[in-house]
Amino acid sequence: MSALNLPQLIEELEQNFPDLPLKYNVSWSDMTWLGVGGEIAIVAEPSDDITLSEILQFCHRKKVAVFVIGGGTNIVGMDKVFDGIVIKLAQNDFIRIKARTHHLTVGAGVRLSDLVVGAARRGFGGIAPLGPIPGTVGGALRMNAGAHGVVIGDYVVDICGYDMTGDAIAINGKEIAWDYRSTDIPDEIIITGVILKLPLAYKNSELEKINEEKKQRRASDPSGRSAGCVFKNVSSTDQAGRLIDEAGLKRFSCGSAWVSKKHANFIINRKHASEKDVIDLMCKMRSTVAERTGFYLRPEVIFADPAALADIQADSHIPKVAVLKGGDSSEREVSLKSGAAIANALRNAGYIVDEIDIQTCKLTDSILNADVVFLALHGSWGENGDIQKLLEDADKKFVGCGSTASRLVLDKISSKKLMDKENIPTPKWCVISESDSNLADFMDFPLLIKAPREGSTVGIFVVNSQDEYDKVLPEAFKYDSELLLEQFIKGRELTVAIVNDEAMSAVEIVTPTGFYDYDAKYIHNNGETKYLCPPDSVSIETQKQAAEMAMKFYHAANCRDLLRVDFMIDGDGKAYMIEANNIPGFTTNSLVPKAFKQSKGSMEMLCTNLVQAALKH
């Protein structure tokens, strides 16, 4: 309904809801902590959920815009008149806490600080770090508010509310995806209350914890009118405030909105800042950080006008990344996990991500429309150069080695030949075929039989005698008609990751069985594998030698962007290169993210650096 129909709207509201408290021409300054924006035509404060439902039904029929507000702590108002209805949940059950034996029922309008203190006084605890966070419970649930490792989503049993048509909604807490500063609760759901199950606690000790948390918060947060943190952190180590500070933007201003000199992720309304001032300043903060780091900061504040968020996102060209995962090889399940981890990291870094489960070697429109393709395909055509060749022919930028290098690296036999050519120490090896499977004279047991074009230790067998060798061969030849035999070296396992032409810290792998097989990597039926980064029992000199060998192979094979090189360290401390992986895993237990974390930083930084490098190809 346009502004021209406001008198009619007001008349109908007063007729249909004679007991509903209504306010007219209310300033956003009176409704929000930041205090920017013009006027709100109508503010309604329903006394209960039945009235709320009836208002929503009315607005849905009349096609009247609705914006729901709680404490207004993280909201940026709008300069033009909001000529719909702002609904404020600030009465009766919306602001009450009801204690039961094992849980609390809490209204969405309850201030988070009041919840934490009220819970403590009723003998519940566990959420003291949430106490200093401004805002109401409804907003905290929507954003999955958290601090110091505690997030509200961990304690949710059920959420109740309404959709925009006025129909009641109930959501079980286990059905909600609780992510960092976000959930998958649809935007059109209005939260009215929540049931929380909190651990029991001693009142006095819990109140002491709450007071200490508030004291620490007062010391770190700036004074003045603000909406709290403006942008979400990229990761626990890539904090928005630090990134903005390092970009030199403290005290930077647009109009009367300025970046706090105390905490760079706060925008302070110095006098009479406008919505435009805030948008312009956020665009400057975001674009400067993006130019410096490749991170596109995601707003944490809520805009009354959705167009404002669109303006900020449109201010910088955000690369669209197609993450290819899955494939049809024996490593499909690992690839799906790697792709999901990469996609999540890039979304945290602000990129537009298209997560694609690709099962045939061909380029779709989604892939061709991306700015960068990030390959998380292990084995088969995903790693052997086939998909890379298609991307090269289509002139698409992609993360990782080109087709020729990919083909060489995946093939363990070709890799061995290159190691020998470059005088890189590697265990004795030979090739057998189905027509000639006799051991070479220089080979002896124990040894490894390897399918030459598989990864993730698929198609690898350890044999200790001629009998074992003869028994295993039929199974091994199911993977390939040609097999690599490699002398088994008993010792420590080491891996070196190379990211954008730089060797990362080495990772020592300690397995329960002494062999880094598929179970040790992913399943752990035989016990957990330990990853030591930096290594615990491999000398600095040996680590340096391994890094030099890895770099030598990387350059000799004409690799780029990313490579993982595996070594065995014998009892004398000598390093032997085993093989390389041009599309290494990116799962929780994967080695490249672990090495990068030790050397450089977060998974988000790793994926961002690789995308930025690919954009420059």
The catalytic residues are 331, 456, 522, 564, 566, 579, 581, 585
Contact assessment for residue 149 and residue 129, using Cβ atoms and an 8 Å cutoff: yes
CA geometry: angle 429, 433, 439, nearest 5 deg: 45
Q: What are phi and psi of 169, to 5 degrees?
A: -130, 140
Give the integer Cα–Cα distance in Å for 208 and 116. 12
Q: Are strands 150-151 and 146-147 parallel, antiparallel or unpaired?
A: antiparallel
Exposure pattern of 537-566 as b/e (b: 16+ CB <10 Å)?
ebeeebbebbbebbbbbbeebebbbbbbbb
Contact assessment for residue 458 and residue 330, using Cβ atoms and an 8 Å cutoff: yes
Give the integer Cα–Cα distance in Å for 104 and 107. 10
Give the integer Cα–Cα distance in Å for 281 and 269. 11
Question: Which residues share a beta bridge with 358?
Answer: 326
Q: Which residue in 554, 489, 544 sits closest to 516, CA to CA?
A: 489
User: How is residue 307 annotated by DSSP?
Assistant: H
Give the integer Cα–Cα distance in Å for 533 and 510. 11
Q: Which residues contact 478 (CB under 8 A, 6 or more apart)?
A: none
Q: Are strands 190-196 and 104-107 parallel, antiparallel or unpaired?
A: antiparallel
Alpha carbon 560 to chain centroid, angstroms? 25
Contact assessment for residue 132 and residue 213, using Cβ atoms and an 8 Å cutoff: yes
Give the integer Cα–Cα distance in Å for 489 and 567. 10
